[in-house]
Amino acid sequence: MKKTILNKNFVLFIFGRFVSLIGSGIQMIAIPLYILDKTGSGAAMGIFTLLGILPRLFAAPFSGVLGDRFNRKNIMVLTDLIRGGLILLLSAMSFGNLLNMVGLFVIQAIVSVLDGFFGAATTAMLPDIVSEEDLRSANSILGGVNSFSMIIGPILGGVVYGFFGISLVFLFNGLSFVFSALSEMFINYRPHLSKKEELSIKTFFVEFKEGLLFIVNKRSLKFLFTFAMVTNFLMAPLLQVVEPYVLRQVVKMSAQQYGLVQTFFTFGMLLGNIAIVSFLNKLKNRALMTQGLIIQILLLFAFSYFIFPDVLKNFSVMQFFWIVGVIYFFFGFFNVQVNVPISTNLQLMTPSSIRSRVFSTLEVFSQVMVPLGAVIYGFLLDHIAAHFMFLFATIITAIISVGFLVFAPYEVYEPNEG
C-alpha cells in the first residue's frame, strides 16, 4: 500500500510529538524561573542546563546502536512512558514539599539520557512511515510543530507557573509524555530487523564503527555531514554568544525586547515550514537550499552592517528592535529551506538498518562543536569588537556556503534521483 503524508501512522506520530513538545515547552520556561526563585544562583542554572545536554551526548553512541537493533516504535513508547513517570514523580514530590535541587538535577540527567534514545529512534523511524516523495513535507510539518510548540509552550509555561506553581507544570508535562506514548502505541510499525549477534561490548563497538565507516565511505553523505557540522560550529555560537552580547550589552535591549526578537525568528520558522509544505513543495532541493543559503547570508551581512557603531548610533533602541525583528523573521523563514532538505537528504541517503547510528553520530559531532565554538567566541569577545567578529564569521560562513553550492555532489541535493 502506498504511504501518504496523511496516513494514520504519520498523524499519530505528529500528534504524539505535538503533545509532548507543548508539555516540554511549558516546563522549559518554568524550571529556570523555579531554580532562580529557590536558589537565586546562576551556577545552579548552569548545572541544570549542562545536565540537559551532556548526558544525552554521552548516551548517543548507545542510542544509535540500540535504535538500529530494536523496534523504534517500542523505544519511543518506552522512553515517553519513563520520562512521563519521572516528571510526574517530580510533581508528586513538589506537591508533598519534598522536591529539592539534587532530586531535580538527578531526574533531569536521567531524562536527558532518555531524550537521546527517543531522538535516535524518532529521526530514524520517520522515513519508514512516509513515502520518499513526502519525506520533505513530513519534515516540514514536524518542524512546524516544533516551532509552534516553541511559541505556545513558553507562554503557557509562564502562565501556569505564575498562577499555579511548579507542581502543576510538572503534572502537565508528565501527562503530555504519557499521552504521547499512548498515541505512539497505535502506530502500525513493523521494522525489518535482521538477525544479529547477541549484544556485547565487542558487538557494540563493531556496530558503532559501522555507522562511522558508513559516513566516511559515502562521499555525498560525508560532504553533507561536514557542511552541517562546520556551519553549526560557526553559526550556533555566533547566535548564542555574540548576538545576545550585542543586543543586551551594546544595543541595551530590554529582556522583553530580546525575548520578542527570538519569537520573530520562531514565527519565521513556523511560516517557512508551512511554505515548504504548501507553495514551495514543487521546488527541487537544490533550488530551495540555494535560495535559503544565499538569503540567510545576505541577512547576516545586513545584521553585521547595522551593528557597526557608526550605523547603530543613528537608531533608537525601539527602531533597532524592529529592524532586527524583521531580519530575524526572514532568517527563520529561510533557515528551514536549508535545514529541512538537509535533514531529509540525510535520511534518504542512509538505509533504515543503520540510520539511528548515523544520526546519533551527527548529533554528537554537531553538538560538541557548539560549546567548543562558544568558548572560542567568548574568549574572542574579550579581545575583538563584537561587530567585527560577527562580520568575520559571516564572511567565513559565506565562503563555505558558496563552496558547498558549487562543489556538492548532485546526490547531496536529490539523493533519490542520484
Domains of the chain: 8-193 (1.20.1250.20), 214-413 (1.20.1250.20)
pLDDT digits (tens, 9 = 90+) for 391-403: 998 999 999 999 9
pTM of the model: 0.84
Per-residue model confidence (pLDDT) at position 2: 44
Per-residue model confidence (pLDDT) at position 272: 93
Other C-beta atoms lying within 10 Å of the C-beta of residue 125:
24
Per-residue model confidence (pLDDT) at position 343: 86
How many whole angstroms separate alpha carbon 120 and alpha carbon 390?
Answer: 33
Residue (of 392, 375, 388, 370) closest to 250 by Cα position: 388
Per-residue model confidence (pLDDT) at position 7: 81
pLDDT surpasses 70 at 319 = yes
Per-residue model confidence (pLDDT) at position 194: 57
Q: Which helix (H) or strand (E) holds 296?
A: helix 285-306
pLDDT surpasses 80 at 5 = no
Per-residue pLDDT band for 330 (boundaries 50, 70, 90) equals very high
What's the grid cell of residue 175? Answer: 501527562
Q: Which helix (H) or strand (E) holds 330?
A: helix 317-349
pLDDT digits (tens, 9 = 90+) for 31-42: 877 887 888 776
Per-residue pLDDT band for 1 (boundaries 50, 70, 90) equals very low
Among all chains, which residue has been given the C-alpha cell 516523495?
133
Q: HEC string of 10-58?
A: HHHHHHHHHHHHHHHHHHHHHHHHHHHHHHCCHHHHHHHHHHCCHHHHH
More confident residue, 93 or 244: 93
